[in-house]
Amino acid sequence: MGIYRRFFCMIVLAVWAEPKSAVAAELGDPVRAGPSVMRDLGDRLYRGDGIDRNQDLAVEWYTRAANAGDALAMTRLGHCRAHLANDYASAMSWYRKAAELGEPLAMNNIGGLYQDGSGVTRDYAEAMRWYRRAADAGLPQAGNNIAYLYSNGLGVTADPAKAMALYRDAARRGHAGAMYNIGRLFENGHGVTQNYVTAMEWYLRAAGANDAEAMKRLGAMYRLGRGVKADAAQAIQWYTRAAEAGCAEAMNSMGYSYANGQGVPTDEVKAREWYLRAAKAGDAMGMFNTGIFYEEGNGGPRDYARAMEWYRKAADAGTVAAINAIGDLYRFAKGVPRDYVAARTWYFRAAGLGNEDAMEALAEFYRYGWGLPIDYAEAMRWYRKAADAGNDPALTNIGELYRDGQGVPRDYVQAMAWLRKAANAGRPAAMTDIAGMYENGLGVVKDAEEARRWYEKAAAGADVDARAWLIAHPKAQPR
């Protein structure tokens, strides 16, 4: 206990000893001033408002204020326990203490735990009960949350009209999130007639109330030309405002804009910087894109170890493409020893979540016997799953298995049908395969001119085999 008190005292001195500190001058001695001032200091530290951001120290001040009976500090502490430590039991305990003292934000947050099933069994009815208590206590965002339940039919019969009325009421009372949600309803046509112009109007209102999500969405509307003329420069302005307001998704969008030259000159260094900012701010796609940039060496040195690190974080955050990417690193020995067993494990996980590239990769493992016996039937099964999920390379491979009679009886008609599907999807390898079937008369009348035409199409698509064939078989010059 003595070490803790001494450490805490040193931090207090470090924070308050500088006489030029505007925050120190404003708040004075927070311990003597009382729990509300201690809580305010915690807020400043949590946000980095006029003082170096230090969330651990913020928790210490929230704890002191909460122990002194400040209900809002209890609520803040519950939030920290939930979102910084994933300790939902402790969060619920602090929220309940604050709710017993009549704090509506705590009541609302209890509802949130029940809605998300965080630390408790998901229970929409219980969530609604707590949201209603908070709304009755005058909290606009609780009305916004009730509207969300009605809009999506969670624990209640879906009622778009009631949801809209509740959103409008919360918006009238100044809740920016409700303004944003109304914009989303109009943008998506959810329960209302789709209207991009009206969506823009609500996003602008929410952005005017400093809602970072609305700023980000305005960037997307300008980029896509929804409700306004497409304007990449305006999109960048809104993404920048959203990012500066702390929106991690907007930081990722800034990275995408620099990577693809949308509204700004292409700049992989800046793209990498923005992706990394997004990743560190908790955006899952930012983590994934940071992994890609480290893997490919875009905007800086290639670093497979860092790529793996960010792919794993993105995977833990639910990004399925990152799960597949980890499989690729093990498969191609990038920064780790080649490990087909580990690769398959990650591919199976990604495929189970619907990733078409992972399905195609698993088919390749069975087709070529990488780390397991060749099994053409299983390869065909995975190629078909990949094709059904929209994977174009799988179309070519299915055609080749039918052509070669691998895993299925040889069937040139089926082979040609699948290869034409792949060719229509722009796959040069399929064009080369079709050329070979015409050259050799496999299921079709042998036709040298038609074969050459397909080789030329494939070569135009940069297929190396087709180019090699054309070099080896120069077109006869007319005499």
Number of CB atoms found within 10 A of residue 368's CB:
11
Give the residue among 109, 108, 43 at the shortest CA–CA distance from 70.
Answer: 43
Number of CB atoms found within 10 A of residue 118's CB:
16
**What is the spatial distance between Cα 164 and Cα 183, in angstroms, rounded to a whole number?**
11
* Contact between 439 and 446 (Cβ < 8 Å): yes
Who contacts 12 (Cβ-Cβ below 8 Å, separation ≥6)? 31
Backbone angles phi, psi at 202, to 5 degrees: -70, -40
**What is the spatial distance between Cα 110 and Cα 117, in angstroms, rounded to a whole number?**
10
Give the residue among 30, 54, 50 at the shortest CA–CA distance from 40.
Answer: 30
Instruction: Give pLDDT, residue 459.
Output: 97
Instruction: Give pLDDT, residue 476.
Output: 73
**What is the spatial distance between Cα 324 and Cα 314, in angstroms, rounded to a whole number?**
11
Instruction: Give pLDDT, residue 113.
Output: 98
Instruction: Give pLDDT, residue 343.
Output: 98
**What is the spatial distance between Cα 117 and Cα 53, in angstroms, rounded to a whole number?**
30
**Residue entry with tokens 């943008």:** 187
Match domain 391-479 to its CATH number in 1.10.3720.10, 2.40.70.10, 1.25.40.10, 3.30.390.30: 1.25.40.10
Tokens of residue 400, six digits: 């080749």
**Residue entry with tokens 């297929």:** 463
DSSP letters along 88-147, please? HHHHHHHHHHHHHTT-HHHHHHHHHHHHHTSSS---HHHHHHHHHHHHHTT-HHHHHHHH
Q: What is the 3-state secondary structure of 370-411?
A: CCCCCCHHHHHHHHHHHHHCCCHHHHHHHHHHHHHCCCCCCC
At 160 the three-state DSSP class reads helix
Question: What is the chain's length?
Answer: 479
Tokens of residue 207, six digits: 């952005």
The single-letter code of the amino acid at 392 is D
Give the residue among 60, 74, 66, 150 at the shortest CA–CA distance from 109.
Answer: 74
* Contact between 381 and 388 (Cβ < 8 Å): no
Tokens of residue 438, six digits: 């015409």
Instruction: Give pLDDT, residue 475.
Output: 86
Q: What are the structural domain ranges in the chain? A: 391-479
Does an H or E element contain 227, and which? none
* Contact between 253 and 220 (Cβ < 8 Å): yes
**What is the spatial distance between Cα 413 and Cα 402, in angstroms, rounded to a whole number?**
9
**What is the spatial distance between Cα 120 and Cα 134, in angstroms, rounded to a whole number?**
19
User: What pLDDT digit, counting tens, does each position of 375-423 carry?
Assistant: 999 999 999 999 999 999 999 999 999 999 999 999 999 999 999 999 9
Instruction: Give pLDDT, residue 308.
Output: 98
Give me the residues of the chain with pLDDT under 50, please.
Answer: 1-20
> Which value, in Å, is the radius of gyration of the alpha carbons in the chain?
29
Instruction: Give pLDDT, residue 22.
Output: 52
Who contacts 10 (Cβ-Cβ below 8 Å, separation ≥6)? none
